[in-house]
Structure 1
């Protein structure tokens, strides 16, 4: 008896997408450093060309890490790494490093504070021969200063 692995993966893919990819996300190329938006009171990274807009999810990954200077005798850098992950269908394009990911819509009952928040892709999206969903490692674009 042969196992129909492609058929099983197709069923799992639909199940995972239906349960996880409930929000709408946008992937765009960066168009420059973050700028202050007086309307929102936050720094926002200007988006360049949009190359994906569709179903997705952003979830926290590992805990935040405090960054330190390269020299042991120097003080701690006043910045953290906020690890998140973006999930998109396998049909979504691979996000190159520094892609800006923005949540543009959340599902009914979802966390509306995510709308407009931005993250930067740390590396190109992951791929796997037996993958059912595309995963992209993210770092939140900080809202407390102009640096990104």
Structure 2
């Protein structure tokens, strides 16, 4: 009896989507350098054209890292690389590098402080022939300064 992997994946995909993709995420082209929002006190990356808005999730990928300058005699760079992952259905478009990912809405009982937070896609969305959801590596857009 041969295993019909395509049929198994077709049955697993709705289950995985229903368990993980509980929130609404927006993927947009970058619209320019960060702009200070006096209402929130944060710098926000302006969004250009919306590429996708729909079911998704954003989760931490690993602990933040601090990068050092290229020249050994220079001080440490005061910027972290905050690694996150965005999960979207396979029907969502592949996010290109530098796509702005924003959490637009959170499910009941979820962390509402994530609404409005932004990340930048580090690389195009990952894909695979046996995937059931699309995964995009993200770096959080830092809110500590106005430097672009």
Length-normalised TM-score, structure 1:
0.98
Distance 1:37 1:45 in 2: 10
1:51-103 Cα distance to aligned partner (Å, 9 max, x none): 10000000000110001000111100010000000000000000000000000
Matches within 5 A, 1:1-148: 1-148=1-148
Runs of 5+ consecutive residues of structure 1 not aligned to the other structure:
none
Length-normalised TM-score, structure 2:
0.98
User: Does structure 2 conserve the Cα–Cα contact (< 8 Å) formed by 1:33 and 1:146?
Assistant: no
2:26 aligns to what SS in structure 1? Answer: strand
Runs of 5+ consecutive residues of structure 2 not aligned to the other structure:
none
1:93 aligns to what SS in structure 2? Answer: coil
Give the C-alpha shift of residue 147 in structure 1.
Answer: 3.1
CA RMSD of aligned residues (A): 0.7
Distance 1:109 1:91 in 2: 26
1:94-145 Cα distance to aligned partner (Å, 9 max, x none): 0000000000000000000000000000000000000000000000000111
1:22-67 Cα distance to aligned partner (Å, 9 max, x none): 0000000001011110011111000000010000000000110001
